[in-house]
Structure 1
């Protein structure tokens, strides 16, 4: 897979991409040495730089962690960021969070759940104590890998970054464009370098900085970012920025001349 760059192309920082992946991802895998990986439905970055996660209460992983007591265990949390559409290569990026995992003390569970729910009122939080055990991963390293390679990011940078404002809605929007607005894809395809226009072009990603397209060709897959003129922060600005990329003459609300 290759990444084609449009001149002047900009995009989210590594920390922003990780924050968005954490917010968007529905599940992750928690790996402990000697234990089968467990799926966890929550991976929430706390204000102190640790990650709150839920582990099935009756799993071998939870039993192993509880046996370790206050010393905890080493663990890796793996998040997979999937493309919103069925592509030949559906994985957009992988995030690995390595660190020290401990059970949240019973006395601190309620307050911790309240802090999480203030940012993410996930219904699965109601299952803590019955179906899941609340754990805290003290992160020692965070690495993201995608078509551009692998890169690590510090916890401080993660805390300073924000998830993309459109990351939760990205999947539904791109699926809608792909299924119901072929004209949008056609216009965006015209912005690509000529050699890439011969492949099958599908929406790959959307963020405040621009749109990413996946070109599936006979020579492999190519990812291209089409940048917006400037970053956008709301739905109105997003719609206008997309019209600019499409070359819409009425981007500023002008109306066609009446005959």
Structure 2
């Protein structure tokens, strides 16, 4: 007897997840020679994911950089992806970037580029290494910058829709859900966090079609409630 293979469910690649985390991040931590510095609004992400740091002047970090030989340094950059809704555990992913710092452009000591050598993505499902070449070729999810607004609007203005979406899981969802809130959204799906007395279950519901932008995403959420239930998928963590 042959068994049909499970369908490959559309989802972001690890490289796309890293690019999405970077696209919406406003802060990061920089570790240099054992010292860690928190930077807020002091980085930009350019073409092919090129990361440029803009350390604020007259800070311990700039003093440290001024003392470094040749301004070419081994560093680690850490970013934490936080859910915008009031979940118990709001950490969705952690990204660690290691590489070397060097002047971004000649004659501009205030900007440093990060030449990546290693990228690690850690989520609730495990840890994955991302090749720098794959990272450079990937693009952020088209909803990455608007995801927070979409999720908070869904949670605050449409709690009835959230409840209806949870019902889509039917008997596959364990009993005893205390609370359900939007967890994440990308072009392929919306994810809900179903919390219990202890622990939680993450429910990922595939859209009937890819969402190109915020307006399309809203339409996809509404269409989920009338789409065939066999198209839905859920993950337990």
TM-score range relative to shorter protein? 0.7 to 0.9
Aligned position for 1:154: 131
Q: Which residue of 1 aligns with 2:234?
A: none
Structure 2, unaligned runs of 5 or more: 1-6, 229-237
Q: Within the alignment, does 1:232 sit opposite 2:221 as a pair?
A: no
- The within-5 A match list for 1:78-97 is 78-97=78-97
Select the residue among 213, 221, 227 that pairs with 2:200. Answer: 221
Q: Counterparts of 2:80 and 2:193 in 1: how far apart (Å)?
A: 18
- The C-alpha deviation readout for 1:81-119, integer Å capped at 9, x for no partner, is 110112111111111110111233453x4xxxxxxxxxx
Partner in structure 1 of residue 154 of structure 2: 177
TM-score between both structures, scaled by the size of structure 1: 0.77
- Residues 145-169 of structure 1: CA distance to partner in whole angstroms, max 9, x if unpaired? 1101111111211122111111111
Cα–Cα, structure 1 residues 213 and 14, in superposed 2: closer, same or farther, change >3 Å? same
Matches of 2:143 and 2:50 in 1, distance apart? 24
> What runs of 5+ residues in structure 1 fail to find an aligned partner?
1-6, 110-128, 250-259
Alpha-carbon offset, residue 43 of structure 1: 3.8
Q: What TM-score do you get using the length of structure 2 for normalisation?
A: 0.83
Give the structure 2 partner of residue 25 of structure 1.
Answer: 25
Residue 47 of structure 1 deviates from its aligned partner by 4.0
Aligned length: 221
Looking at structure 2, the residues matched to 39 and 71 of structure 1 have their Cα atoms a distance apart, in angstroms, of 18
Q: Deviations over 1:158-209 (max 9, x none)?
A: 1221111111111112111111111110110111223166231100111100
- DSSP 3-state at the match of 2:148: helix
Give yes or no for contact 1:75–1:99 (8 Å, CA) kept in 2. yes
CA distance in 2, matches of 1:236, 1:60: 44
Report the equivalent of 1:61: 61
